[in-house]
């Protein structure tokens, strides 16, 4: 039975269709699980699949799907290898992914500033 994470539930709060200005956000990063993956990789040189799974508390399938989306967008790079005959999947944030996170942070900060100035 699939284990439910708190993250996808919280992600529901941020569904773009419910937020008028969300259309301007980078939708790849805006989703909570993907945002967590990118944030965790931003402060680590690399993280294994297992590290990320434990950190974000999602199921294998959920993590795979979201990591693949980030990979397809060029935000993270995945390397597969073997360590003592065990498969090891490692993720790193690409320069493009770091830029995307910075833009996302800028966007959030600008939004907060704009609301305060109103």
Partner 1 sequence: MHARAMDNLRFIRETMERAGAFTAVPGLGSIAMGATALFAALIAAEQSGRDAWLAIWLLEAGVAFGAGFWGMVLKARAARMPLLSAAGRKFCLSLAPPLLVCALLTGVLYLHGASDLIPGVWLLLYGTGVVTAGAFSVRVVPVMGLCFMAAGAAALLSPPGWANWYMAAGFGGLHVAFGIVIARRYGG
Residues between 89 and 108 with contacts to partner 1, criterion CB under 8 A: 101, 105, 108
> Under the criterion CB under 8 A, does residue 116 sit at the interface with partner 1?
yes
Smallest CA-to-CA distance from 88 within 52, 39, 116, 45 is with: 52
CB of 1 to partner 1, least distance (A): 25
CA atoms of 41 and 22, how far apart (whole Å): 23
Position among 36, 70, 76, 93 found at the interface with partner 1 (CB under 8 A): 36
**83 contact partners, CB below 8 Å, separation of at least 6:** none
> Under the criterion CB under 8 A, does residue 50 sit at the interface with partner 1?
no
């Amino acid at each position: 039975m699939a284990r439910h994470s708190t993250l996808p539930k919280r992600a529901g709060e941020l569904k773009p269709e419910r937020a008028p200005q969300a259309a301007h956000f980078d939708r790849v990063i805006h989703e909570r699980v993907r945002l967590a993956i990118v944030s965790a990789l931003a402060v680590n040189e690399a993280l294994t699949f297992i590290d990320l799974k434990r950190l974000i508390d999602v199921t294998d399938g959920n993590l795979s799907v979201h990591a693949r989306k980030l990979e397809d967008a060029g935000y993270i790079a995945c390397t597969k290898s073997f360590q003592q005959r065990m498969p090891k999947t490692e993720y790193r944030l690409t320069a493009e992914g770091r830029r995307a996170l910075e833009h996302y942070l800028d966007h959030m900060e600008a939004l907060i500033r704009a609301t305060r100035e109103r």
